[in-house]
Amino acid sequence: MKKIAFPTSNRQTVDGHFGHTKEFVIFTVENEKVTSEIYLTPPPHEPGVLPKFLADNGVNTIITGGMGAMAVRLFASNNIEVILGAGGNIQTAIAEYLSGTLINTGSACDHQHGDHGHDY
């Protein structure tokens, strides 16, 4: 069994940055098939909170558009695989992931985040 999370603010598309998302959709996958789908509202955004929140909910993989290098390290320290570069429809993205055709750009966000905080 594997749990895969996507950040979303509209329950349809993958958010470009996970740090300020309204919800996470978490898919439970068994034998490469989705067996359940739930939506969770994350706790208030603070550094380090989201990786722990998702780990505490059994997530093994997060798929998102982008995140900072520190966030990638925090997810790794919580044993969560990070796949970057996703966008568009969540159902399409999970299908691509399960079929092995979702491309991980592997590049972390490199722009400044200013006063609105970091994406971790």
**pLDDT at residue 9 greater than cutoff 70:** yes
Superfamily in which the 2-30+42-110 domain is placed by CATH: Dinitrogenase iron-molybdenum cofactor biosynthesis domain (3.30.420.130)
pLDDT in tens, 38-49: 999 999 888 889
What share of the chain in percent tops pLDDT 70?
A: 88
Q: For the full predicted model, state whether its pTM sits above 0.85.
A: yes
pLDDT in tens, 64-107: 988 888 889 999 999 999 999 899 999 999 999 999 998 887 65
Residue type at 15?
A: D
Q: pLDDT class for 108, splitting at 50, 70, 90?
A: low
Q: What is the mean pLDDT of the chain?
A: 87
In contact, 65 and 103? CB cutoff 8 Å: no
Domain spans of the chain, in order of start: 2-30+42-110
In contact, 93 and 102? CB cutoff 8 Å: yes
